[in-house]
């Protein structure tokens, strides 16, 4: 009887040991899956091994949980290991900014390989002199890959390593189109490995070097030949997918079909870079100095201004900053006197009537906004406050100009209210629209300065 009990105890101890070993292996596989830098052969191996481990793991787990002779710590151990495995898979045990693919690690890697990156970009640009845009991605597991080059894009034509049956687009034709020889391709690959990257994209003035894959995201360095302008730095500072490193370098993050594009740890990292950016290039995202596409909100009094304030709120007019020179701020706005016009801002900071300054929280194409605004100069003022009459009132001009690249409005029109806080229609508006021979456009889609100022897209400086 005693020997039977001892054999059973020894057998269950062996089951527990096997179970713990399998859990440790699963933890290691979780680490490999969470922090690998390739989506190819290696990831397939990780999932395949995990599948083979899972079945014996479940069997030993059932034996441990339901066998009466097991001690409490033997039954508790798997739950602890499950928790560890889950936390590793989620990255909780390796914070984003201290892991090997985190922002601080990326910054250290950039400083370590800065000269290598410069050499890589210079050589690739000289070698690929047959195209204005060349993008190369190399397989990160050359020992198992049939082809070193995984992806190649030249100007508007792309080639994938999986396109083996497409004779019209081959790797050789892409190399010929870019003016690259096999020797130059090998040199680019060698320089890329020395720079600790996996891909490179070059244009006439910028380059982007792939740094790491991490989960479903990819990190890269965007390198500029010339210092960024202030507006470009502001756009990068406010872009969730980018972290501004210097006036020539932006760290980028992108995802695949699933996953978030948001750059992990962006706000904390940029807070550590702010003093450097201020000292090195005078950049300050919260500098109250006016910039193109800033918005000026006025709170004037008298006539229509009083009526606007009664119906909508404190602000009575809005204008956009078109340009800033050493002694003059130029604005574009829509007024009853001038229509849509470009004119100097006559009020000075410190004046009682100086407008409040608001700045967008989101990255925009400032050149596109200004191009739309300049194209509307000369249009009449919209006294009827209607959306489709080819005339513009002040906030309507802003809504029309601030449009995203896909055509969506940044500021969305809302049903207009002309009544006061008590629900009564001010006599000013009754007389104003009677003179135009029309009803008050209550509920018609439109905008007003106060509503614009309350948009989540803006912040007051």
**Tokens 């009449």 found at:** 380
Look at residue 19 and tell me whether its pLDDT is greater than 60.
yes
Strand partners, 121: none
Q: How many residues are present in the chain? A: 461
Structure confidence at residue 145 (pLDDT): 45
What is the pTM assigned to this prediction?
Answer: 0.51
Neighbours of 25 (CB within 10 A): 15
Q: Tell me, what's the pLDDT at 205? A: 83
> Minimal CA–CA distance to 425: which of 407, 450, 413, 443?
443
What is the pLDDT averaged over residues 191-198? 90
Strands (DSSP E) contained in 39-162 are 134-138, 149-154, 157-160
Between CA 411 and CA 417, with CA 412 as vertex, the angle to 5 degrees is 115
CA-to-CA distance for 66 and 61, rounded, in angstroms? 9
Average pLDDT value over all residues in the chain: 78
Comparison of pLDDT for 51 and 291, the residue scoring more: 291
Note whether 238 and 270 are within 8 A (CB).
no
Tokens of 127: 């070698």
Helix (H, G, I), strand (E, B) or coil at 389: coil
Buried b vs exposed e over 282-291: b needs ≥16 C-beta within 10 Å?
ebebeeeebb
Structure tokens at 174: 């892409």
238-262 average pLDDT score? 78
**Rounded CA gap, 381 and 78, in Å?**
74
Listed in sequence order, the residues at least 6 apart from 375 whose beta carbon sits closer than 8 Å to its beta carbon are: none
* Site of tokens 């969305």: 412
Q: Mean pLDDT over residues 155-165, rounded?
A: 63
pLDDT in tens, 199-209: 999 988 899 99
Measured distance CA(109)–CA(220) in Å, rounded: 11
Q: What pLDDT sits at residue 57?
A: 60
Among 19-23, 189-193, 244-248, 406-410, name the one with the lowest average pLDDT: 19-23
The closest alpha carbon to 287, from 272, 276, 274, belongs to 274
- Please name the helix (run of DSSP H) or strand (run of DSSP E) that holds residue 414, with its range, or none: strand 414-415
| Cβ atoms 320, 376 nearer than 8 A | no
Q: At 280, is the pLDDT very low, low, confident or very high (cuts 50, 70, 90)?
A: confident
74-83, 124-133, 229-238, 287-296: the lowest-pLDDT one: 74-83
According to DSSP H, which parts of 394-447 are helical? 394-401, 427-435
How many contiguous H segments (helices) and E segments (strands) does the chain have? 14, 16
Taken in order of first residue, the domains within the chain and their CATH numbers are: 2-90 (no CATH), 103-281 (no CATH), 295-460 (3.90.1720.10)
Region 381-393 average pLDDT: 92
Taking phi first (over 0 means left), then psi (-120 to 50 degrees means alpha), and beta for anything else, what does residue 61 get?
Answer: alpha
Query: Hey, is 254 helix, strand or coil?
Result: strand
Q: Torsion angle, CA of 342/343/348/353, rounded to 10 degrees?
A: -80
């Amino acid at each position: 009887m005693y020997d039977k009990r001892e054999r059973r105890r020894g057998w269950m101890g062996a089951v527990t040991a096997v179970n713990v070993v399998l859990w440790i292996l699963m933890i290691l596989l979780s680490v490999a899956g969470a922090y690998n830098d390739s989506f190819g052969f290696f990831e397939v191996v990780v999932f395949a091994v995990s599948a083979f481990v899972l079945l014996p793991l479940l069997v030993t787990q059932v034996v441990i949980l339901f066998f009466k002779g097991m001690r409490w710590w033997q039954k508790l151990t798997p739950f602890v290991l499950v928790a560890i495995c889950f936390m590793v898979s989620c990255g909780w045990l390796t914070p984003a900014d201290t892991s090997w693919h985190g922002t601080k690690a990326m910054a250290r890697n950039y400083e370590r390989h800065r000269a290598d990156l410069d050499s890589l970009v210079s050589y690739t640009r000289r070698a690929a002199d047959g195209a204005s845009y060349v993008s190369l991605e190399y397989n990160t597991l050359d020992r198992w890959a049939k082809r070193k080059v995984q992806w190649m894009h030249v100007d508007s034509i792309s080639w994938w390593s999986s396109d083996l049956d497409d004779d019209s687009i081959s790797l050789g034709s892409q190399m010929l189109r870019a003016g690259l020889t096999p020797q130059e391709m090998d040199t680019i690959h060698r320089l890329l490995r020395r720079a600790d990257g996996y891909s490179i994209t070059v244009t006439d003035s910028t380059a982007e070097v792939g740094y790491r894959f991490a989960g479903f995201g990819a990190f890269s360095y965007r390198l500029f030949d010339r210092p960024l302008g202030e507006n470009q730095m502001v756009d990068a500072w406010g872009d969730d997918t980018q972290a501004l490193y210097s006036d020539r370098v932006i760290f980028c993050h992108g995802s695949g079909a699933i996953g978030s594009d948001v750059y992990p740890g962006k706000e904390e990292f940029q807070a550590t870079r702010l003093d450097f950016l201020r000292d090195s290039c005078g950049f300050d995202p919260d500098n109250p100095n006016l910039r193109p596409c800033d918005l000026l909100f006025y709170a004037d009094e008298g006539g229509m201004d009083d009526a606007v304030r009664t119906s909508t709120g404190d602000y009575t007019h809005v204008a956009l900053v078109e340009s800033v020179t050493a002694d003059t701020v130029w604005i574009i706005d829509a007024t009853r006197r001038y229509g849509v016009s470009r004119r100097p801002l006559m009020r000075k900071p410190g004046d009682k009537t100086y407008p409040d300054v608001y700045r967008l929280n989101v990255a925009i194409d400032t050149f596109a906004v200004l191009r739309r605004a300049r194209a509307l100069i000369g249009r009449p003022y919209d006294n009827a406050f209607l959306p489709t009459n080819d005339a513009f009132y002040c906030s309507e001009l802003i809504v029309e100009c601030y449009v995203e690249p896909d055509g969506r409005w940044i500021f969305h029109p809302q049903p207009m209210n002309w009544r006061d806080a008590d629900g009564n229609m001010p006599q000013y508006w009754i007389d104003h629209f009677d003179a135009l021979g029309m009803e008050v456009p209550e509920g018609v889609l439109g905008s007003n300065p106060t509503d614009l100022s309350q948009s989540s897209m803006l912040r007051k400086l």
